[in-house]
């Protein structure tokens, strides 16, 4: 397990603290009983300021979540899935998929299955229930791609040098 901040988008106008939190804690987020206090001490601010800053980034849609990233098959169940979405429905379907707390992230790809997302839940049955709900509600073809072999790809990258 690693702690991380999942980043959706980053505009040019960010405070120094926002940039630091986004850049420095994509990996290496403190894994302790008071992680926001640990961040605050490292940044020379209060815990409330860190929490308010991260909440603001999330409310503005700049980050999707702050939390742990578990290695596949270590806790619960997950799958990569994709939908074939007509272009004129893309935003609505993407928003709908993102409304599920079990969906970690989604993104558009150039492919006939053009909206890809990861579903994580306590067990395979719950994962399947989410996939069924998404397919039933959208009426779109869904591709379920459960993990067969694991590869580690570090998706963190420096935002500001």
pLDDT digits (tens, 9 = 90+) for 96-120: 999 999 998 889 999 999 999 999 9
In sequence order, the 6+-apart residues with CB closer than 8 A to the CB of 87 are none
Q: Do 81 and 141 share a domain, yes or no?
A: yes
> 122 lies in a domain?
yes
Mean pLDDT across 79-87: 96
Residue 134 sits in a domain whose CATH number is 3.30.70.3460
Q: What percent of the chain has pLDDT over 70?
A: 81
> 43 lies in a domain?
yes
Tell me how far apart the alpha carbons of residues 3 and 31 are, in angstroms, rounded to a whole number.
Answer: 7
How high is the pLDDT of residue 1? 45
Q: Do 63 and 81 share a domain, yes or no?
A: no
> 150 lies in a domain?
no
Beta bridge partners of 79: 119
> 129 lies in a domain?
yes
pLDDT digits (tens, 9 = 90+) for 8-53: 444 558 899 999 998 888 878 888 999 999 999 999 999 999 999 9
| pTM confidence score | 0.60
Q: How many domains does the chain have?
A: 2
Closest to 92 in 3D by CA, of 139, 127, 57: 139
Q: Do 88 and 124 share a domain, yes or no?
A: yes
Q: Do 56 and 38 share a domain, yes or no?
A: yes
Q: Do 52 and 14 share a domain, yes or no?
A: yes
Tell me how far apart the alpha carbons of residues 89 and 53 are, in angstroms, rounded to a whole number.
Answer: 33
**pLDDT grade, residue 161 (50/70/90)?**
very low
Mean pLDDT across 55-80: 80
> 161 lies in a domain?
no
Q: Domain limits at 41? A: 2-69
Q: Do 65 and 81 share a domain, yes or no?
A: no
């Amino acid at each position: 397990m690693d702690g991380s901040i999942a980043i959706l988008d980053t505009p040019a106008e960010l405070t120094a603290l926002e940039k630091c939190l986004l850049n420095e804690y994509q990996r290496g987020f403190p894994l302790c009983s008071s992680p926001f206090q640990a961040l605050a001490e490292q940044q020379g601010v209060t815990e409330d300021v860190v929490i308010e800053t991260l909440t603001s980034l999330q409310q503005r849609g700049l980050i999707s979540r702050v939390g742990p990233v578990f290695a596949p098959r270590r806790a619960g169940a997950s799958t990569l899935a994709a939908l074939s979405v007509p272009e004129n429905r893309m935003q609505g379907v993407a928003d709908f998929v993102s409304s599920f707390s079990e969906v970690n992230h989604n993104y558009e790809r150039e492919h006939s299955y053009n909206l890809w997302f990861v579903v994580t839940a306590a067990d395979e049955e719950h994962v399947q229930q989410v996939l069924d709900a998404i397919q039933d509600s959208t009426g779109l073809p869904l591709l379920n791609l459960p993990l067969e072999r694991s590869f580690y790809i570090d998706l963190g990258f420096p935002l500001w040098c």
